[in-house]
Amino acid sequence: MLATRDLLQMGKGFERSNIASMAGYVPGEQLAGTGIIKLNTNESPYPPSPKVQAALAQITAKELRRYPQPTADDFRAAAASVHGVKSDQIIATRGGDELLRLLLTTFVEPGQRVGMTDPTYSLYPVLTAIQDASSVSIPLEDDWSLPADFAQRINAEGCVLTFIVNPHAPTGALLSQDTLEQIAKSLNGMLVVDEAYVDFVDNSEHDLTEWAVNTENVVLLRTLSKGYGLAGLRFGYGIGPADLISPMLYKTRDSYNLDMISQALAEAAIADQAYAKYTWQKVIKQRARLSLALNALGLATPHSEANFLLVTLPQQSKITAESLYLALKQEGILVRYFDHERMHDKLRITVGTDAENTVLLEHLTKLLA
C-alpha cells in the first residue's frame, strides 16, 4: 500500500494508478438536428409502446418528492412474469451497463482475470480496467465463430468471469443454447451472456432464461435500450440464480439506483410484450431486406441475428469504408465506422425503418456506382 504522499509524488495526483493509466469509454456519435438518419448506435427505429406514453402522462412531478422503490419491485415482478422466473432471480439496473459493472464489483477481485472474445462490446475491457482486473481476449476465428476450445483457453488463463455477447456485437452471430451450456459447464468461473440484442433473433423460441436461473454460474443481461425503444430511459436487468442476483441486489447496487419515473415506464414497456414483438418482427424483416440489398451492391454482410449488419466492402472497391462513412454522414446518414485490429475498414449499420433503409440504399447505390 502506497502512502498518499507517495502517490502524489508520483505525479498522478489523487487518482488510482489503474484509473490514471486507462482510457475512458467513448460513446457513439450523437448528431443533433432533424432529418438525420441515425444508424450508428443500434437504437430501435420504432418508438416505445403507447403504454409507455400513457404511463408517462400519469406521472406528476409532486410524486418525485419521495424516494423510489429501492429494488424496483414492481418492475421485477413484471419482468419475472414475462420470463416465467421468480422476482429474486431478477435485478433491475440503470441500463445493461450498470449490471456489467455490478458483476465485476461483486464477483471479480482486483488483479483477477476476465474473459471475453475479440472483437466484442468495447465497454467490457474498460469496466474491467476500472475494477483493476485484467482482460483476457480470445480471438474469434476468421469467420467470426467462437474457437472450439474457448472455455479451455479461458480456464487456462484463470478467468473468474467471462462476458459473451449473444447475438454477437459487432457481427450479429448467434451462439445456440447447446453451445453456451457446454461453455458454462466447462468454465471454472462465471459466464455472463449479454443478450442486449436477443430480441431480434430469428427463432422466437430461442430463450435461455429457464436454463440461466437453474445454472449456478450464469447470468443473462437484458436491456430496454434496443428491443423496447428506450435507450434514453437507461433501464436493463439481469436474470440468473438468486445466489448470484442477491449480492448485487442487496449489497453492491447503489441503494436507490433507479428513479421513480423510469421504474414506472419500464414496467409499462415490458408488460406490453405484444407491441414489443411486433416491432422486433418489423426489424427482422427489414434486416433481411437490407442484407439482400447490400449484398446486391457487392457489400458482404455475415448472417446477423441482431438489429445491425457488419458490412465489408469488396477487396477491389474504389472507395474505402471510411470514405463511405464520411460520404453518408455528409448526406445526414450516420453509420458506425470501424478501423482497428480484427475490424479493419468495416461499417456497422443499424437496421432502420423501411423509409430510412430506402434512403440509405439509394445513397449507397449512388456512392458505389
170-209: which residues touch its own copies (CB under 8 A)?
188-190
Shortest CB 205 distance to its own copies, Å: 28
Binders of its own copies in range 308-347 (CB under 8 A): none
Q: Which of residues 63-82 bind its own copies (CB under 8 A)?
A: 63-70
Contacts of 26 (CB under 8 A, 6+ apart): none
Binding segment (CB under 8 A) for its own copies, from list 93-101, 137-145, 317-325, 347-355? 93-101
| Closer residue to its own copies, CB minimum distance, 262 or 291 | 262
Of 47-55, 305-313, 330-338, 352-360, which part binds its own copies (CB under 8 A)?
47-55
CB closer to its own copies out of 163 and 301: 163
Q: Which stretch binds its own copies (CB under 8 A): 61-69, 199-207, 324-332, 361-369?
A: 61-69
> CA-to-CA distance for 117 and 146, rounded, in angstroms?
8
Q: Please, which residue, 131 or 166, has the CB nearer to its own copies?
A: 131
Write out the binding residues for its own copies, residues 138-177 only, by CB under 8 A. Answer: 158, 160-161
When binding is defined by CB under 8 A, the residue of 19, 148, 156, 292 that contacts its own copies is 19
Residues 214-273 that bind its own copies (CB under 8 A): 216-217, 225, 229-235, 243-244, 247, 250-252, 254-262, 265
